[in-house]
Amino acid sequence: MPVLQLDEFKTRQRATWEGGDYSACSPYIADVGELVVTRAGITPGMRVLDVACGTGNAAWPAARAGAHVTGLDLAAKLLEVGRARARAEGLEIEWREGDAEHLPFEDGSFDRVLSTFGHMFAPRHQRTAQEMARVCRRGGAIVTATWTPEGVFGDLSKAAAPYMPPPPDYASPPALWGREDHVRELFGDVATKFEFERHVNRIEWESLESFADFFMAHFPPMVTAKAMLGERFSEMRAGVVDVWKRANEVTDGSLRLPQEYLLSIVRL
Ligand SMILES: C[S@@+](CC[C@H](N)C(=O)[O-])C[C@H]1O[C@@H](n2cnc3c(N)ncnc32)[C@H](O)[C@@H]1O
């Protein structure tokens, strides 16, 4: 399989996240957006950017806290879902199509720059970190949540990797953002203080198999993998299910899946 050039890589990323139905999945990690907003200390009137916002898991609670919020994402389809929900709830959020590696904002435009599991998918981590720091004012903070490499996401990525196209050499593994030393290195030049917390999001489902059916039918990267792999998809699915089986906290036939993430607060 040919290695993708950067533009093509991002076109594929957009197509992937617009496929499947991410808006059916995002509510299961909404608690993380709430916590990020709390830890970011958002107060009324603050200017807040949610990078790679998807349907707006961090944008929502930030807007409810009274901030002026902009959500940015590659995937126009997800922004459309966010926009419609905001309209229905009477919340004002600006939804912008764009790339985390080229943020379309002036230097120092925001008091807080947030991301929950979105920034991690932009391939060039240093470039993304530089952009997040550039658009955040001095005295502000960048607050992110990333699945850790040693948590379920890390194991799932390892199980799926043999079935995926080789990552281009300019792309770093997304879960690296879930390591404190990596975050310290990315923001070493600009940060005045780092704070790190480990938390767990839990998925609860009536059974592991029915969760697997839901996830494979809706989660965009799985929907793309299914279309790409044909018959080999069931092999990959078995590997992923095995990861969940090992991580499951209960033995009564249901699923309680702990997903560890790193919450990073980078003060500028
Ligand atoms: C797992 S979703 C997270 C979405 C949201 N933050 C949440 O918590 O539900 C990953 C998101 O990253 C977006 N994304 C991936 N690469 C991106 C990039 N280079 N620039 C902006 N958004 C990107 C995808 O379109 C997708 O919406």
The CATH number for 124's domain is 3.40.50.150
**Angle, CA 97 vertex, CA 165 and CA 140 arms, to 5°:** 100
Q: Is the CB of 54 under 6 A from ligand 1?
A: yes
User: What ligand 1 atom has the least distance to the C-alpha of 50?
Assistant: 6
Residue from 13, 35, 55, 115 to probe ligand 1 pocket by mutation (most atoms less than 8 Å from CB): 13
Rounded distance, CA 63 to CA 259, Å?
A: 26
Cβ atoms 134, 187 nearer than 8 A? no
User: What ligand 1 atom has the least distance to the C-alpha of 145?
Assistant: 8
Rounded distance, CA 127 to CA 119, Å?
A: 11
Q: Confirm whether 30 is domain-assigned.
A: yes
Check residue 1 and give its pLDDT: 58
Phi, then psi, of 113 in degrees rounded to 5:
-120, 120
Q: Is the CB of 13 under 6 A from ligand 1?
A: yes
Rounded distance, CA 225 to CA 247, Å?
A: 23
Residue nearest (by alpha carbon) to ligand 1 atom 12 = 118
Domain count, the chain: 1
Please name the residue that has the structure tokens 């592991």: 208
Q: Is the CB of 29 under 6 A from ligand 1?
A: yes
Check residue 92 and give its pLDDT: 94
Check residue 2 and give its pLDDT: 63
Q: Confirm whether 215 is domain-assigned.
A: no
Q: Confirm whether 240 is domain-assigned.
A: no
Q: Is the CB of 143 under 6 A from ligand 1?
A: no
Give 250 Cα–ligand 1 centroid separation in angstroms.
Answer: 31
Q: Confirm whether 69 is domain-assigned.
A: yes
Q: Confirm whether 60 is domain-assigned.
A: yes
* Average pLDDT by stretches of 10, the chain with 268 residues: 81 93 96 98 98 97 97 97 93 96 98 98 97 98 98 94 89 96 97 98 97 96 93 95 97 96 98
User: How many other β-carbons are positioned within 10 Å of the β-carbon of residue 246?
Assistant: 9
User: How many other β-carbons are positioned within 10 Å of the β-carbon of residue 131?
Assistant: 22
Beta strands per DSSP E along the chain: 47-51, 68-73, 93-97, 110-116, 136-147, 193-205, 255-267
Residue nearest (by alpha carbon) to ligand 1 atom 10 = 118
Check residue 4 and give its pLDDT: 79
Q: Is the CB of 123 under 6 A from ligand 1?
A: no
Q: Is the CB of 75 under 6 A from ligand 1?
A: yes
Q: Confirm whether 227 is domain-assigned.
A: no
Q: Confirm whether 66 is domain-assigned.
A: yes
Give 50 Cα–ligand 1 centroid separation in angstroms.
Answer: 10
Buried b / exposed e over 161-174, threshold 16 CB at 10 Å, is: eebeeeeeeebbbb
Domain range for residue 133?
6-150+166-203+258-267
Q: Confirm whether 210 is domain-assigned.
A: no
This prediction has a pTM of 0.96
Check residue 43 and give its pLDDT: 96
Please name the residue that has the structure tokens 């991002």: 10
